[in-house]
Amino acid sequence: PTLIMTGEYDTLAAEMDHVAEMLATAGVTVAWRRFAKTDHGFTHCPPVETAREAIALIGAHLSTAFSRS
C-alpha cells in the first residue's frame, strides 16, 4: 500500500495526483490526502495541529501495512 500526502500549495501536488492515479491503475492500494492551507514540508512546520495529524496518519498507515506481514 502507498500513502501520498501533499499540501494544498505544494508545487508537487499535481505530479503526486498523477502518481497516485498511475499506481491505482496498476492495482496498488493508494491512500491519498491533500492537507489544506499547507505547502511542501508541512509535517515539519506550523500549523502544528496539521503536522501532528499528518504524522499520525503516517503512523497509522505504517502500522496497518506492517501488521499485514
* pLDDT recorded at residue 68: 76
Q: Do residues 31 and 5 make contact, with C-beta atoms less than 8 angstroms apart?
A: no
**Confidence (pTM):** 0.85
pLDDT, tens digit (0-9, with 9 covering 90-100), for 30-56: 999 999 999 999 999 888 999 999 999
* CB within 8 Å of 15: residues ≥ 6 apart: none
